[in-house]
Amino acid sequence: MKENVLNTDLTGKVAVVTGAGGVLCSVFSEVLARAGAKVALLDLNLEACQKVADRICQEGGIARAYACNVLDKQQCFQVADAVEDQLGKCDILINGAGGNHPAATTDKEVYEPGDLDGEVKSFFDLDEAGISFVFQLNFLGTLLPTQAFARQMMGRQGCSILNISSMNAYRPLTKIPAYSGAKAAVTNFTQWLAVHFSKEGIRVNAIAPGFFLTHQNAALLFGPDGKPTPRTDKILAATPMGRLGDAEKELAGAILFLLNERAAGFITGVCIPVDGGFSAYSGV
Ligand code: NAD
């Protein structure tokens, strides 16, 4: 019988995940460990990623937690040295640390006459420092760990970088212009890196998650009666498949596919939307 190439086996590989204490990247770290990888979990919040590492080890996997600010180049390099000493050279890097900031978010979806002089935080009130924070975290926070860890991939086979973009890169959601722009930059940087590292055989891809149900956002998406909130209704109406995604199955599947050298060995420079059709739908 022919082999099933989608059975991703990462045994012996060292996978580094930034933002590993967070909602999605903790799931990604566990999925990589179950596929056999030794996982280095990096996060600004050591306690959060230590908990995930402990869970992985209790399940019989190999994992280590590291405190790391992805915006501190020196620290990224120090942690890269520690990972190499303790687990081995990095084969897989997932740049997961990212997010938005309230100071870079407008109160209303659409500008309306009078907002300029009113109480609401309009586009004109957005704070430079907040906008800069969001661009730094998402873009520079992807670039600096790549400088630190891609060095360890040089001259070796089967190495891969995976960035986390967003639906916002295709269709900016209302209120969050900086996050949308910064994630568009992450998608663009993914293409740039893929070309730049092509002769080294390092594949660089991204995923763009749509809307997922997690333990952390369940209360925001559904009311106490279990019914979708008005925002969730809007999300579902804009998602042709009419439901939220399952991170453990559906994001994990996209990640394992892109990291699988046999199945995706000729795929580099792509960003895969995992969104139930959200990015394809015009709304009409
Ligand atoms: P999260 O907020 O739960 O986790 C982010 C983690 O990054 C946190 O543990 C935080 O401590 C860490 N972090 C923040 N700043 C850091 C820094 N400077 N250095 C190191 N670590 C830092 O976020 P999430 O929802 O799990 O999202 C993970 C990634 O996926 C992000 O890039 C996010 O933009 C992207 N994303 C999320 C969704 C979603 O639905 N949650 C959708 C699309 C894209």
For residues 206 and 213, is the Cβ–Cβ distance under 8 A? no
Q: What is the mean pLDDT of residues 35-57?
A: 98
Indicate the pairing of strand 203-209 with strand 212-213: unpaired
Q: Rounded to the nearest whole angstrom, what is the distance from the C-alpha of residue 26 to the centroid of ligand 1?
A: 10
> Would you place residue 14 in the very low, low, confident or very high pLDDT band (cuts 50, 70, 90)?
very high
> Is residue 247 one of the residues assigned to a domain?
no
Residue-wise pLDDT tens digits, 121-166: 999 999 999 999 999 999 999 999 999 999 999 999 999 999 999 9
- Show the domain range for 75: 14-210+255-274
Q: Is 96 in the pocket of ligand 1 (CB under 6 A)?
A: yes
Q: Is 65 in the pocket of ligand 1 (CB under 6 A)?
A: no
Q: What is the position in ligand 1's atom list of the atom closest to the CA of 71? A: 18
Domain tally, the chain: 1
Bridge partners for 247 per DSSP = none
> Is residue 59 one of the residues assigned to a domain?
yes
Pairwise CA distance, residues 136 & 143, whole Å: 10
> Is residue 248 one of the residues assigned to a domain?
no
CATH assignment of the domain containing 27: 3.40.50.720
* pTM of the complete model: 0.96
Q: Is 274 in the pocket of ligand 1 (CB under 6 A)?
A: no
Residue minimizing CA distance to atom 29 of ligand 1: 96
Q: What is the position in ligand 1's atom list of the atom closest to the CA of 179? A: 34
> Is residue 97 one of the residues assigned to a domain?
yes
> Is residue 163 one of the residues assigned to a domain?
yes
> Would you place residue 218 in the very low, low, confident or very high pLDDT band (cuts 50, 70, 90)?
confident
Q: Is 98 in the pocket of ligand 1 (CB under 6 A)?
A: yes
> Is residue 179 one of the residues assigned to a domain?
yes
Q: Which of 207, 186, 197 is nearest to 70 (CA)?
A: 186
Q: Which pLDDT value is given to residue 2?
A: 63
Pairwise CA distance, residues 90 & 88, whole Å: 6
Pairwise CA distance, residues 216 & 197, whole Å: 36
CB-count exposure of residue 205 (10 Å: 0-12, 13-18, 19+): buried
> Is residue 188 one of the residues assigned to a domain?
yes
Helix extents (H) in 59-175: 73-86, 128-135, 141-150
Does the structure show a pLDDT above 90 at 117? no
> Would you place residue 176 in the very low, low, confident or very high pLDDT band (cuts 50, 70, 90)?
very high
For residues 68 and 75, is the Cβ–Cβ distance under 8 A? yes
Q: Which pLDDT value is given to residue 135?
A: 98
Residue minimizing CA distance to atom 12 of ligand 1: 19
Pairwise CA distance, residues 191 & 188, whole Å: 5
Pairwise CA distance, residues 193 & 29, whole Å: 23
Q: Which of 257, 278, 270 is nearest to 211 (CA)?
A: 278
Q: Rounded to the nearest whole angstrom, what is the distance from the C-alpha of residue 19 to the centroid of ligand 1?
A: 6
Active site (annotated) includes residue 281 = no
> Is residue 153 one of the residues assigned to a domain?
yes
